[in-house]
Structure 1
Amino acid sequence: MSKITEFIKDRPSIKTFLDIYDSTNKLITINDASEEIGTLLALITYQKKRRPTVLVAPNLYRAQLIYDKLCTIIEDKDVLFFPQDEFVTSEMLVSSSEFRLERINTMVELSKNNSRIIVTHLPGILKPTVAPNKWIKAKFSLFIDMEISIGLLSKRLIEIGYRREYTVEKMGDYSVRGGIVDIFPFRNKQPIRLDFFGDFIESIRIFNIETQRSVARVDSINILPMTDFLFDENDFLKLRTKIEKIIEFGETSRETTDIILNDLANLSARRDLSRLCRYLPMMTDKHYTVLDYMDNPAVFFIDRKRVDIQYGLMFEDIASWKNKNRDYLGIDFSFIYLLEELNIDKEINIHYFDYKSQTKCPNAISIPALEPFKFGNNLNLFLAEMKQKNPELTVFITLKSHKARQKLSESLADNLIRHYLVGPKDDPLTGTINLIETEDYFDLYSPGMLVAVITDAAFEERKVPQKKGKYVSVFDNSKRLGSVSDLKHGDYIVHYDYGIGRFLDIVTMELGSTKNDYIHLEYYNGDKLYIPLESFSEIQKYSGSEGFIPRLSKLGGTDWERTKLRVKKRIRDIADKLIALYSERERAEGFSYLEYKELEADLRADFPYEETEDQVRAIEEIYQDMATPKPMDRLLCGDVGFGKTEVALRAAFRAVLNNKQVAYLAPTTVLSKQHYQTFSDRLGKFGVRVELLNRFSTKKQQRLILSGLREHSIDILIGTHRLLSEDVVFKDLGMLIVDEEQRFGVEHKEKIKEMKVSIDVLSLSATPIPRTMQMAIMGVKDMSLLESAPENRYPIQTYVLEQNDLIIKDAIERELARKGQVFYLYNLIDNIENIAFKLQRLVPDAVINFAHGKMHKHELEDVIDKFVNQNIDVLVSTTIIETGIDIPNANTLIIHDADRLGLSQLYQIRGRVGRSDRIAYAYLMYKRQRQMTEDAEKRLKVIKEFTELGSGFKIAIRDLSIRGAGDLLGAEQSGFIDSVGIDLYLRILEEEIKEKQGQTSSKKEMMPIKATVSRYIDKNYISDDFVKIEMHKKISAVESISEIQDLLDEFKDRFGKYDLELEIYIYERLFEKLAARIGADKMLEKKNNITLILSEEASNKIAGDKLFRSGMRVSRFIRFAYKNNRLQIILDTVGLDRHWLYTMVGFLEQLTVESL
């Protein structure tokens, strides 16, 4: 128990509460209290009694904040979160998994030990859930030598919410391949692989999700459910019988009957379970909620008045639904249960200081509490408050570091304010100010208990992120999407020699005595092309701008070659420019920056988040650039919220510590203000002077700023293109940071280019840049990529549903009730005002405005600025919403006609929310009457799965990468990129740069020598086309016999026993490479021998002694001949006991080793 909690539990009012709690009375009322008091009472009760303790908040937002508060002061394992969707009756096509996984996690923990603190909200304790005994039965263990058929195991996995896939890629997947079963169990860090011998489990191995290779063996594994809607065949039959009777004797319409029968079909197939859980109560005779998972729970209702209001609204919602859906006659969906029917042993009602309970309760006590202290950056306000505090009030001030505590202690001492520095073994003093280092807590002020707790947050102008609870994610350890996984039947592909075609499938064809796998492609006019799968490296998936449909190339014509030549010509100009810039920068003399360890460590400690690995790497790369005299020119790429500003801030701080000035150039006034706020907040406390210059700066302010720059009294100037004016003169400018350079005009870009030559430049971009581009221009352009989002971000709860005015109204009102803001995305400019007017009628009290791309730049900026400053509640906008803008207070996003937007657009727009200390919501709506295309439906289903920004299972945002490439190389390049696809474009760019730098061109190595063997993977061994492609690529990549053995181990590990034909095929692929490596250009296959003939050049180079030594070491069947100035390596095959390739590959590898 923490020092603060230990102190508070001994306060008289707390002791009184505990005495009443120990009595036999069921109902206790706490008046004049607050959320913090209710949370503390629940915590102290739990820690003293160790019994199930439930906190019920009036809504999900408050529940989330209470959960986070508790996670700051007790171990995560003691506190659980149980969130439910707050829309009780709404019909969702799909909804994302975060809440469900959190609930399942809580149910798993409660079934192990139900003496925990559970934080929830009203729907959490009222919505039906599965019976506890059924939940316990659903869990099972698997162990070595256990008898269970693969069919029975598969059935049990499906019943508890697992999905069968060909390859396991995320939690909840399982796959069956012959006698091998892969499962990714809930809460496991990595998936497991079961090897069966008949109906017995022979081995259990953990495997790596990226490599799909086994990494460790275990004796047993626990399988936990992936759904909280569990039912067996008997439950389903009971439901179906009930419904059939209702339909037979009721008056349901044809349409409703079809909907219900479709629901039954989905339930039978176990699809859409999260949507269909309303049928659960009809499968059981007794009703259960999460409270039934606990023995005699004590339930604390936080802010009981608002809880009761929410309870009333839920019944109104249900009444409205029933009135609207009278057609469901007889199907009584039990959306929620009655409060009075719940399993509550003790009920504690917390009433706030602004409300007096009207209910006469004999066990009512008062623990007065007020809003916690808030001082902002005003230290004098804090000191004044401490001077006049009640002498009996005990104050706790928690500070993150020893240095911060020392600094505050000095300020208190200077003002003759008595205080006490509490050491690790000290007890706090009553009636004084206690300074405690590093102890996590939450702000609290209770005159009733004579206690106040003041944390760092009380001294911040803006809210500082606090430690949060660990949220469960299905994507935590998921596989990242790669180019192979991206390819689907019907996708456009690009072949280097043949051009753009369409991928149809993989076919195995028999030619003479051999079988080969081919990629079946379609070209212009229906022409077909079969490419051997071992040549897959010549093919890439076509990626162009979203919505751009490429023309299929004509086989046998010259069109494709002309297209490539046109692109190459353009690319040569770009390569020349990049190399010229690089050379100019190499010759320039800059400044070498020194490190200031202590001050930079203090700045790092002041960062409220944990840096991502990408951030750490980027900061280090920038520091290395700054340490050399060569001027830095680095591009930093990363989506909004991935931490670019922090990386730039660290670089700017080092420049200032070295007595250099920094200019930060932003494309809009809104962004410049945001960056100014961030830099001022973070660097002001270190004595760094930051100023802002944009169109809102007055003449007087401008005059003072310009003077300060010349005198070097200003360290960092942040602003728009006004910074590039002639009158802006720095005394000693050392660094220029440019945000979104591609958004500046030609004139401004030229000015930036002039500045770049002699000073360090850091460019920031929110548009993703493909890694392939980084590789292509490596050596001529320095780049750092931020690809992962900060840890422990709140999930974005995503819903896909029909357009519904009631839900829109409800979603907006819920967001406004938590003092938040709403983005409403509507992408038709002509009708956007009407939509804003319609929303105004739906929510009359909200301040609503709109923004679109045809508005004047200043008018658009003014609207965005008002939204940022929270003067607008709902912003109706087209996709013009600035990518770089950070509006942490906007956490509800509603997208009108979401099925009309591209996947990457949906992804990027959804990234506008979920950037603060609260759960965010995204509602993707589509019109009911319009039949959605299959592609649009797929897009909507995909977007809801990828609810974790930048981590785990990645959305394929290829068209954004293309835009990023256009931004970097020039917007006019997009047409050329579309003509050949981004991958081939970048390949040509890489070749041109290497050629111009005199490096070896990366053109394909010709391997004309091939042995007559089958090159296919049996479809009974691997049936999935895309896994086949993946394994053929791995076969083509082998470079040595040891790598062959490693690959064969992988085949056996993942797919079971392989046949000899596959092993010989792998050896043949290595043989091709080794033969080319020693310079062989011809081979003769005869009945009794194999002859490999080297070119004249290779024959002259090879050392005879090494040749004979290698032959003697490997086989007595190898001999040599020399004819027509060419060396012949002859292998007599008659005496060999296995295929000649084993011996020949062994010899060639030995020869290449000898020659090194």
Structure 2
Amino acid sequence: MQFKFPNFDQSSRVANWPAVTGAALPISIDDYLQSATAPLVVICSDATLSLRLTNELKWLSQASYSVLNFPDWETLPYDQFSPHPDIISDRIRTLNNLPSITNGAVVVPATSLLQRLAPNDYIEGRALNLAVGETIEADTFRKRLQRSGYQFVETVRDHGQVAFRGSIIDIFPMGTERPIRIDLFDDEIDELRSFDAETQITVDKVEAVSLLPAHEIPLDRSHRMCFEERWHEAFPTIDFNQVSMYKDVISGISTPGLEYFLSLFFEETATLFDYLPDNCRLLFVGDVTKAVENYWKDITERYEQFSGDQQRPILKPSEAFHPVEVVLSKTKQYPRAALKEINASEPATREASIDARKEEPLAQLKHFIISAPKPIVISCDSEGQREVVAEQLRRGGISSNTLSHLHDVEYGTDSVYIMASPLEVGLVSQQPSLTLLTDAELYGRQVRQSRRRNSQSTDDSLIIRDLSQLNLSDPVVHIEHGIGRYLGLETLEIDNEKHEFVKLEYAGSSHLFLPVSSLHLISRYSGPDKDHAPLHKLGSDTWNTAKRKAAEKAYDAAAELLNIYARREAKRGHKFPHPGKALAQFSAEFPYEETPDQSKAINAVVADMTRDQPMDRLVCGDVGFGKTEVAMRAAFVAVHGGKQVAVLVPTTLLAQQHAQNFVDRFKDWPVKVEVVSRFQSTKVVNETLEQLKSGQVDILIGTHKLLQPDIKFDDLGLLIIDEEHRFGVRQKEQIKKLRAQVDILTMTATPIPRTLNLAMNGMRDLSIIATPPARRLRINTFVRERDNRLIKEAVLRELMRGGQVYFLHNDVQTIDRTAFDLQELIPEARVGIGHGQMRERELEQVMSDFYHRRTNVLVCTTIIETGIDVPNANTIIMDRADKLGIAQLHQLRGRVGRSHHQAYAYLITPSWKSLSKDAQRRLEAISQTTELGAGFTLATHDLEIRGAGELLGDQQSGQIQSVGLTMYMDLLEQAVADLRAGRTPSLDTPLETTGEIDLGCAALIPDDYIFDTNERLVMYKRIGNATNQKELDQLQIELIDRFGLLPPQLKTLFEIHRVRQVCEALGVAKLNIGQTSGKVIFNTHTQVEPLKLVTLVQEQPNVFKLQGANELRFSLSLPSVTERIDWAHQLLEALS
């Protein structure tokens, strides 16, 4: 491409390059870099532009030159937060690579120039290169990592963490995409493997890795001494004993916000320019001088605001940052140019659009093509979207060619090209002649979604089982002995062999030691009040009585449940024909890559709909994780099969957003989508309902009005419910009536307890979508007492990085006053107000203003809980968060964090002591559950807090309290299974023990193999929860991968669990095998045929003997562990 700019000015002046618009900016820079012999430092006026240019240049470069990004910290000056580890990782990688860069681009936001940096020799001196075959001494290596600031943990998840486990060392080096597993043979590096931080499973082998320091600030002894000396010089009158930050640093602890004290750790600090090669060129994009001056103004204002705090003194601006004049004078050392006029988009491209609602969607685009400079390139943000656009152009009579890259364009032709690229805006250029359009401009989309890569699928059952992990002093339920408290793991020596036990405390301070191989017999107690769980007395009949009463209630509840669902199960539903190629084509038009969880959910829904039983599936996934596309595919199957679809949503705003999404998604298909909402006139609504009755409307979207008797469908086949917990009792009853008649798909981020438990008991099918969009970070959540300074700081932090803020105030009477006070507190904010009592058009305008960034702070009620998707909003402040339920808190928090920026949620409350126990527990649950995809976990917290009384009615609450929710659900599940099988549930032994194995040998995870007690416990639980041989094999592979070869005791533990799985399948309660004798005890409903037992005794009378109705004894010599395991398998094989 021939976008030629003048040469850089070699004098002290700045060469002004021509103004550019739209995509001309990255294309022009790329054109320069393709032939440049020196690095180009692109200094942007804001962080958003910096990130955009980085992504676009990386794509344009085709790896012909390097593109480095040096991001801003994304914190406020003198903040008490530290940057996210991923940001630190990018910065350190760039600082490490800068001195050796020969050509390419370094993209920097202007604010980063003012930040003080460690001297060049700090990073260079602490970088450590490792390669396969080299030797490292473990202790020396550990000390070096400690000096470099790595955090020692049990499991590596984030940049800057390391875990030592014998011959295995896991580390997440700064600057790498994945953590690295170092496998040692003695002191030699035998293997280097990258692995997935979430699953901990190996991804690929690598030959070498560079370990960069984990922080920009060193905390080794020499630098702490420097800090101490310079601290006393900077703050001679401050009592350092009152400053927790000072005491932390002296103790070697990194504390949040330490970045603003970096100058105290070094005799001299550096600027970014000190890292650059001498032959660099600088390019200013936007008004960089104004940007740094504004940032300096913010710095001085915040210094004046916080400098009086004696418990957290701060350095003067000139000591914490590089002054503006210093930075600007440094720029004069380099040849430089400026692009001052930057327009975000090319206005001319707005004339080209595709409007699916018009009779001829491509009319505007065709008209535009006639007069636009040729050739024309249409850029799509994915390969899938490129194919969709190409097909649409073909049907509209516009021929096009597929283009792999912009560099391949043939100039001087009238061709229309289509390509996939990250370019966000288009351009219209006369010299050279070229028009570039993006699909966002063609379809009027405001924001693009990130595409998912390297996703891991989520095992629904694994998530459910993971909920039962134990903490010290938690109450637990043993199936035979009742409720006790978990006191940890304890190793005891029996017959000269070490055995590990779970220690449980019961009433009267009596203790039970449970072998770790029997961990499957206990579950976490999940009752309304864990602190006052009713502990049972060992040996008493109290537990059996409580269990019997609970079993009776569970039996009644099961009968009621089965009655409710019997009609659905027995009734033949509509069996939709499989759409085949049509569905494949519709799926291909989805412009983004499906996550594995999405694919699983879609396949399950299609399978449900194409069988002759009515579907009743729950899709549980966090906000923004892709549930809507699952609904689209279900709707497609229904409409293709000649049925109508109703989409039921809780708010009018969500109805509008869904309607737009459905219209866009079905624009190329003969499908009529309509919406019924209060944003429409009565006349329009009546016309829509008439068309619905006559079958002209295929998909109708609306609120609970859709359930009213006067709304008549011609042939309803599918009901899609979004956020069922938001509907009232009456609506839920109407939905319940529909359940036996039509297919139902429910989508939610936090299921209500009734919904969740029916799903977990197999009476309702469940799909979990827990894989988040690419680069989406977990949301930092804080519970704080109300403080205007905190609110101002939170809002300014977001506004300074170009973001937007939700301020939730759920009281319409005082919302105007709150907005006024907020505007007074933060004059630079553009404040809007939105609540459900506003006139429809007014509310629509408020939401539109916020979406298009005309306002940047929205003071609102919980009306934003569903539907409004503003990826640029990354901070939410919830006033009186103690008044909100956990489902609401989770949903509202999900409004932010929809991009790769760190998101913040502030839960503002009155005095903590004044809150109720339930409110405190809700707030603790939401603040502790910050992982992405946590909606499923939170639903279980919700059960614990609310006592699950509404599960089946208040009469069940007492039984749940007496035996715990997990046990109660087991009883309910057993009762349902018995009733379905035509058996009368046994109330005396409602839950029979299965799979208790004792082979008289050591079977444990040695503490020198997995040192961390909690990690060992989790692994015991996972091994105990394995339901088949394949799962055990996978766990063995994972353990070897993570911790090294299995020790003999752990191999035995796996063998015992292989025996346990066979015992459970056969209905064997206990299997004891010693060196000379043993016994098998069978359950009441054992699968072993009596005839086989009789045959066994008759054929080998010297070995076997029957003892009563359910016990088989045997005598034979089995001195070794291997012999006992082999014989156990032979015996079970004979009985099966």
TM-score range, shorter chain: 0.7 to 0.9
1:985 aligns with 2:974: no
- SS across alignment from 1:342: helix
- CA 1:926–1:641: 2 relative to 1, 3 Å: closer
In structure 2, the residue matched to 1:175 is: 163
The superposition leaves residues 1012-1050 of structure 1 with CA deviations (integer Å, 9 ceiling, x where unpaired) of 556666656654322332454477679999999998998
1:983 to partner: Cα distance: 2.6
Shift of 1:789: 2.2
Residue type of the alignment partner of 1:319: T
In structure 2, relative to structure 1, the CA distance for the partners of 1:225 and 1:603 (3 Å cut) is farther
Aligned to 1:382: 364
Q: Which letter does structure 2 place at the counterpart of 1:678?
A: N
Determine the C-alpha separation between the residues in 1 that align with 2:91 and 2:604: 42
Matches within 5 A, 1:328-727: 333-337=319-323, 338-342=326-330, 345-352=334-341, 372-373=349-350, 375-378=352-355, 382-383=364-365, 386=368, 389=371, 395-398=376-379, 400-401=385-386, 404-405=389-390, 407-408=392-393, 428-430=410-412, 434-438=416-420, 441-446=423-428, 449=431, 451-465=434-448, 483=466, 486-509=469-492, 516-523=499-506, 529-544=512-527, 549-555=531-537, 564-565=547-548, 567-597=550-580, 599-727=582-710
Describe the shift of the 1:796–1:431 C-alpha distance in structure 2 as closer, same or farther (beyond 3 A).
Answer: farther
C-alpha change, 1:103 and 1:244, in structure 2 (3 Å) is: same
Q: Distance in 2 between matches of 1:471 and 1:804?
A: 42
Residues 638-690 of structure 1 show CA distances to partners (whole Å, capped at 9, x for unaligned) of: 22212222111122123223332222122222222221121122223423221
Q: Which amino acid aligns with 2:334?
A: D
Q: Are the equivalent residues in 2 in contact too, given 1:26–1:345 (CA < 8 A)? A: no
Distance across 1 between alignment mates of 2:611 and 2:997: 49
Quote the residue 2:30 is aligned against.
43
Helix, strand or coil at the partner of 1:753: helix
> What is the CA deviation profile of residues 62-83 of structure 1, one whole-angstrom value per residue up to 9, with x for unaligned ones?
3233334445544478433322
Shift of 1:28: 1.6
Structure 1 residues 611, 565: CA separation in 2 closer, same or farther (over 3 Å shift)?
A: same
Q: How does 1:962-1111 map to 2 (within 5 A)?
A: 969=951, 980-998=963-981, 1003-1005=991-993, 1010=998, 1022-1033=1010-1021, 1089-1090=1076-1077, 1101-1102=1092-1093
Q: 1:270-305 CA distances to partner (integer Å, 9 max, x unpaired)?
A: 43355212232333344324444442333322212x
SS of the residue 2:486 aligns to: strand
2:261 counterpart letter in structure 1: Y
- Cα drift, residue 624 of structure 1: 1.8
Instruction: Decide whether the 8 Å contact of 2:871 with 2:896 is kept in 1.
Output: yes
Counterpart secondary structure, 2:257: helix
Identify which of 111, 114, 128 aligns with 1:126. 114
Instruction: Note the 1:764-913 alignment, pairs <5 A.
Output: 764-768=747-751, 780-793=763-776, 805=788, 808-809=791-792, 812=795, 821-825=804-808, 835-844=818-827, 848=831, 867-870=846-849, 874-876=857-859, 882-883=865-866, 886-888=869-871, 890-895=873-878, 908-913=891-896
Match in the other structure for 1:1114: none
Quote how far apart the aligned CAs of 1:1072 are. Answer: 8.1
> Which deviates more from structure 2 when the two are superposed, residues 1077-1086 or residues 402-411?
1077-1086
- Which deviates more from structure 2 when the two are superposed, residues 673-682 or residues 583-592? 583-592
CA contact (8 A) 2:178 2:195 kept: no
Q: Kindly tell me: are residues 195 and 421 of structure 1, through their superposed partners in 2, closer, same or farther at Cα, counting changes over 3 Å? A: closer
- Among 66, 70, 78, the alignment partner of 2:53 is 66
Please state how far the C-alpha of 1:754 moved relative to its aligned partner. 3.3
Most deviating of 800-809 and 552-561: 800-809
Q: Which residue of 2 aligns with 1:242?
A: 230
Provide the residue aligned with 2:723 in structure 1: 740
State the distance in 1 between where 2:914 and 2:37 align: 53
C-alpha distance in structure 2 between counterparts of 1:808 and 1:1041, whole Å: 54
Query: In structure 2, what residue type is equivalent to 1:241?
Result: E
Report the residue type matching 2:773 in the other structure: P
Where does residue 416 of structure 1 map in the other structure? Answer: none
Moved more, 1054-1063 or 37-46: 1054-1063
Alpha-carbon separation, structure 2, partners of 1:94 and 1:999: 61
**Mapped pair 1:27 → 2:8:** no
What do residues 218-241 of structure 1 show as CA deviations (whole Å, max 9, x unaligned)? 776543433333464333323322
Q: Give the direction of change, closer, same or farther, for the CA distance of 1:195–1:941 in structure 2 (3 Å limit).
A: farther
Note if 1:276 corresponds to 2:253. Answer: no
In the alignment, residue 870 of structure 1 is paired with which amino acid?
D
- CA deviation digits over 1:468-524, x for unaligned, max 9? 799999x9xxx9897389432233333334444433333334578676544334456
Q: Which residue of 1 aligns with 2:358?
A: none
Deviates more, 1:283-292 or 1:56-65: 283-292
Maintained 8 Å contact 1:666/1:719: yes
Structure 1 residue 704: deviation in Å? 0.9
Where 1:373 maps in the other structure, the secondary structure is helix
Please give the per-residue CA displacement for 1:132-152, whole angstroms capped at 9, x wherever unaligned. Answer: 433233222345665543222
Name the CA shift for 1:1078/1:976 in 2 (closer, same or farther; >3 Å).
Answer: closer
Residues 661-670 or 887-896, more deviating: 887-896
Aligned equivalents of 1:888, 1:830: Cα separation in 2: 29
Q: 1:234 to 1:830 in 2, by over 3 A?
A: farther
Contact 1:1044 1:1067 in 2 (8 A): no
State the SS of the aligned residue for 2:41. Answer: strand
Aligned 8 A contact 1:57 1:302 in 2 = yes
- For 2:713, which of 727, 730, 754 is the aligned residue? 730
Any idea what SS the aligned residue of 1:869 has?
helix
1:1052 and 1:313 map into 2 onto residues whose CA distance is 55
Contact (CA 8 Å) 2:22, 2:346: kept in 1 or not? no
Summarize deviations over 1:1086-1143 as a string: whole Å, max 9, x none.
9xx44658999989625879998xx9xxxxxx9737699998643347xxxxx44432
1:126 Cα deviation after fit:
2.7
Q: Which moved more, 1:702-711 or 1:1144-1153?
A: 1144-1153
Distance 1:71 1:898, change over 3 A: farther
CA-CA distance at 1:708 after TM superposition: 0.9
Deviation of 1:828 (Å): 8.8
- Structure 2 residue aligned with 1:363: none
Residue 300 of structure 2 is aligned to residue 319 of structure 1: yes
- CA pair 82-1042 structure 1, distance change in 2 beyond 3 A: closer
**TM score, norm. by length of structure 2:** 0.81
Cα pair 2:619 2:627 within 8 Å, conserved: yes
Task: Provide the secondary structure at the position in 1 that maps to 2:696.
Answer: coil
* Alpha-carbon distance between aligned partners in 1 of 2:152 and 2:797, rounded to the nearest angstrom: 37
- In structure 1, list runs of 5 or more residues that go unmatched: 1-5, 356-367, 414-418, 1112-1117, 1134-1138
Q: Deviations over 1:989-1023 (max 9, x none)?
A: 22121111118989343568846556666656654
Using the size of structure 1 for normalisation, the TM-score is: 0.80
Q: Does 2:203 match 1:223?
A: no
Whole-angstrom CA distance in 2 between matches of 1:799 and 1:1122: 65
Q: Please list every run of 5 or more consecutive structure 2 residues that lacks an aligned counterpart in the other structure.
A: 356-360
The alpha-carbon distance between structure 1 residues 394 and 708, as it changes in their structure 2 partners (threshold 3 A), is same
